């Protein structure tokens, strides 16, 4: 072990071969960095590089014969010894790739010393999973789930010495039911290969299992839920991969696999949805009534169209221009520092999420969970709405990279309630278009947005007494109007779109549970030019 001028410990420093030249290679344990530098006087564009040890995927001894055959570079050396380091290379737009670099030297002992030191450092990363349970939906998205896992993900898991028990689902709810039966303590994480629907299924299985094991009744809307500490990894392979996109910054199976391998952890808020003391569902992305509910309901009938069905149903629903009457009650979130109109978004290591979670924990310590629920004020809004959206995260996707609520936080114990009141078709179109450009989608007189911690909705129809004769008339009328897309009068009820699944009830009660679960992700990183960050001038300070 070498000592650096500042008293810093350097685990190893050697001159090793890389390609056809000798490089100064150092392993700085304290800073957690592996660096390699060309010792010749610095030239512009010289390839000086470093990799955080937390982003090293694996280290392997390299067979010299194999390399000799393929490159012929080592022919001059009688008996070279070599090792290969596989690491995360960050490319543009949050895309990660696995890259490798092979160092060689004549001294076998030195080579082994390097391999051992690097392996010891990897062993010390306790957050990395060793045993995973993987569920693959073979029918999600373009039906590529199995191929994506086998060709892109499994080889990386095996490189990182992760063993996986793989279940290819045979029917809907297979993964969810299975999660209630398996010996979950045996696994360091659960991975789902599919879209948002598949993620939702796995999440329901895990959260449900956790509540069952802790003796918590999910039907009680006020019960504090048991946190789910086993992380979920999402390998995107669906038609909609919004949860993956909003928590990683890209829908890319290799990037997601690498986040799983290095053991990233992103806490996530979850909303519970109840009706009349009956548990309906959990939601992590969108709860949408009106426009997004109607799009989903219509698209369900057109599954045969594949991912195209959302475009078709979206257009059709836009033309129908239905609005819905109802009453919304909500408790504003007072514990959080953020607001939905903030210019800053939730990013890796978000301090708004951290501080909000601490505030909530302190409040609960002081006053107790029940007090907080009962005492906080409720605001009530009645009106006619084209869309009511409650989002726990930005809901970004490739088509709308900033999402439905760009400043929503992943783990601050709140949801953003977006109310789009009755307006003209043209105004609604302007609102929708703003999701795809830089303009503020909340800057309209007919749009209101609130940051809330709980929320209730009752449609006018149920308020007016579900059993009355007039209701039956309205229901019929509603059906009539649904069949006439050009008619923009209000129909009886819309349907709630809960993370891409329909809910049976329009009257719902929603509560946000702060950081109820965890993902193998790190939130969206600030978009720096990562390649630059990993090379050139900054290396000078490190060596």
Ligand X SMILES: Nc1ncnc2c1ncn2[C@@H]1O[C@H](COP(=O)(O)OP(=O)(O)OP(=O)(O)O)[C@@H](O)[C@H]1O
Q: Hey, which residues are catalytic here? A: 196
Query: Judged by CB under 6 A, which of 17, 80, 141, 290 binds ligand X?
Result: 141
Distance in Å, CB of 203 to ligand X, minimum:
11
Q: Among residues 137 and 392, whose Cβ is nearest to ligand X?
A: 137
353-412: contacts with ligand X (CB under 6 A): none
Angle at CA 249, nearest 5°, toward 284 and 264?
Answer: 75
3-state secondary structure of 54: helix
What residue has token string 């793989």?
166
Q: Quick one: tokens of 390?
A: 């409650």
| Segment interacting with ligand X, rule: CB under 6 A, options 64-72, 171-179, 359-367, 527-535 | 171-179
Q: Among residues 85 and 498, whose Cβ is nearest to ligand X?
A: 498
CA–CA separation, 15 vs 20, rounded Å?
Answer: 13
Site string for ligand X, 34-73 (x = CB under 6 A): ----------------------------------------
236 is a site residue for ligand X (CB under 6 A): no
Instruction: Characterize 83-115 residue by residue with b for buried, 16 or more Cβ atoms within 10 angstroms of its Cβ, and e for exposed.
Output: bbbbbbbbeeebbbebeebbbbbeeeebbeebb
CB 274 within 8 A of CB 219: yes
195 is a site residue for ligand X (CB under 6 A): yes
Query: Judged by CB under 6 A, which of 106, 127, 172, 532 binds ligand X?
Result: 172
In which region does residue 173 sit, left (phi positive, over 0), alpha (psi from -120 to 50) or beta (all else)? left
Q: Among residues 55 and 196, whose Cβ is nearest to ligand X?
A: 196
Site string for ligand X, 424-463 (x = CB under 6 A): ----------------------------------------
111-140: contacts with ligand X (CB under 6 A): 137-140
Instruction: Concatenate the DSSP letters of all residues of 434-469 into one string.
Output: TTSSSS-TT-STTEEEEEEEEEEEEEHHHHTTTTSH
CB 50 within 8 A of CB 28: no
208 is a site residue for ligand X (CB under 6 A): no
> Regarding beta strands 286-290 and 508-519, do their DSSP bridges make them parallel or antiparallel, or are they unpaired?
unpaired
Distance in Å, CB of 301 to ligand X, minimum:
13
197 is a site residue for ligand X (CB under 6 A): yes
Query: Judged by CB under 6 A, which of 201, 269, 357, 416 binds ligand X?
Result: 201
Number of residues that bind ligand X (CB under 6 A): 21
| Segment interacting with ligand X, rule: CB under 6 A, options 204-212, 237-245, 256-264, 504-512 | 237-245
Q: Among residues 58 and 498, whose Cβ is nearest to ligand X?
A: 498
| Segment interacting with ligand X, rule: CB under 6 A, options 53-61, 169-177, 227-235, 258-266 | 169-177
491-520: contacts with ligand X (CB under 6 A): 500
244-283: contacts with ligand X (CB under 6 A): none
CA–CA separation, 455 vs 510, rounded Å?
Answer: 5
CA–CA separation, 42 vs 45, rounded Å?
Answer: 9
CA–CA separation, 122 vs 120, rounded Å?
Answer: 5
Secondary structure of 166-206 as H, E, C letters: EEECCCCCHHHHHHCCCCHHHCCEEEEEECHHHHHHHHHHH
Q: What residues make contact with ligand X under the rule CB under 6 A?
A: 137-141, 169-174, 194-198, 201, 238-240, 500
């Amino acid at each position: 072990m070498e000592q650096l001028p500042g008293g810093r410990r350097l685990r190893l420093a050697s001159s090793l071969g890389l390609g056809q030249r000798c490089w100064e290679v150092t392993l700085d344990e304290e800073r957690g960095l592996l660096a390699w530098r060309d010792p010749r006087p610095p030239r512009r564009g010289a390839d000086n590089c470093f990799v955080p040890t937390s982003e090293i995927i694996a280290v392997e001894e390299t067979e010299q014969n194999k390399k000799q055959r393929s490159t012929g570079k080592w022919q001059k050396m009688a008996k070279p010894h070599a090792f290969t380091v596989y690491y995360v290379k960050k490319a543009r737009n949050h895309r990660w790739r696995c890259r490798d670099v092979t160092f060689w030297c004549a001294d076998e002992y030195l080579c082994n010393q390097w391999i051992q030191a690097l392996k010891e450092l990897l062993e010390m990363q306790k957050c990395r999973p060793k045993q995973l349970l993987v569920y693959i939906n073979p029918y999600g998205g373009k039906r590529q789930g199995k191929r994506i896992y086998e060709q892109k993900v499994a080889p990386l898991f095996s490189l990182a010495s992760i063993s996986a028990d793989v279940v290819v689902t045979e029917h809907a709810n297979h993964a969810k039911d299975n999660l209630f039966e398996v010996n979950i303590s045996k696994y360091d994480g659960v991975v789902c290969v599919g879209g948002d629907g598949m993620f939702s299924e796995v999440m329901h299985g895990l959260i449900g299992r956790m509540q069952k094991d802790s003796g918590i009744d999910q039907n009680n809307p006020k019960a504090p839920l048991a946190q789910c500490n086993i992380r979920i990894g999402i390998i995107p392979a669906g038609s909609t991969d919004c949860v993956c996109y909003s928590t990683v910054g890209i829908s890319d199976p290799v990037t997601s696999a690498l986040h799983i391998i290095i053991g990233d952890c992103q806490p996530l808020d979850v909303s519970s949805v109840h009706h009349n003391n009956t548990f309906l569902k959990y939601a992590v992305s969108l709860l949408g009534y009106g426009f997004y509910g109607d799009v989903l309901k219509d698209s369900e009938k057109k599954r045969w169209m594949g991912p195209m069905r959302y475009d078709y149903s979206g257009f059709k629903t836009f033309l129908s221009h239905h609005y819905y009457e109802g009453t919304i009650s909500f408790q504003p979130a007072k514990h959080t520092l953020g607001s939905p109109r903030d210019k800053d978004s939730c990013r890796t290591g978000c301090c708004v999420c951290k501080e909000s979670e601490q505030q909530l924990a302190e409040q609960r310590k002081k006053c107790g969970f029940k007090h907080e629920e009962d005492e906080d004020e409720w605001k009530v809004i009645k009106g006619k709405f084209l869309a009511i959206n409650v989002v726990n995260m930005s809901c970004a996707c490739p088509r709308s990279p900033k999402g439905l609520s760009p400043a929503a936080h992943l783990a601050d114990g709140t949801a953003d309630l977006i109310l789009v009141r009755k307006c003209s078709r043209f105004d609604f179109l302007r609102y929708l278009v703003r999701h795809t450009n830089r303009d503020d989608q909340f800057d309209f007189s007919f749009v209101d947005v609130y940051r809330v911690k709980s929320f209730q909705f009752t449609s006018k129809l149920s308020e007016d007494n579900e059993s009355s004769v007039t209701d039956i008339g309205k229901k019929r009328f509603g059906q009539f109007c649904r069949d006439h897309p050009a008619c923009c009068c209000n129909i009886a009820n819309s349907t709630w779109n809960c993370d891409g699944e329909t809910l049976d009830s329009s009257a719902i009660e929603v509560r946000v549970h702060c950081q109820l679960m965890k993902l193998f992700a790190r939130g969206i990183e600030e978009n720096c030019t990562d390649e630059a960050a990993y090379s050139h001038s900054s290396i000078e300070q490190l060596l």
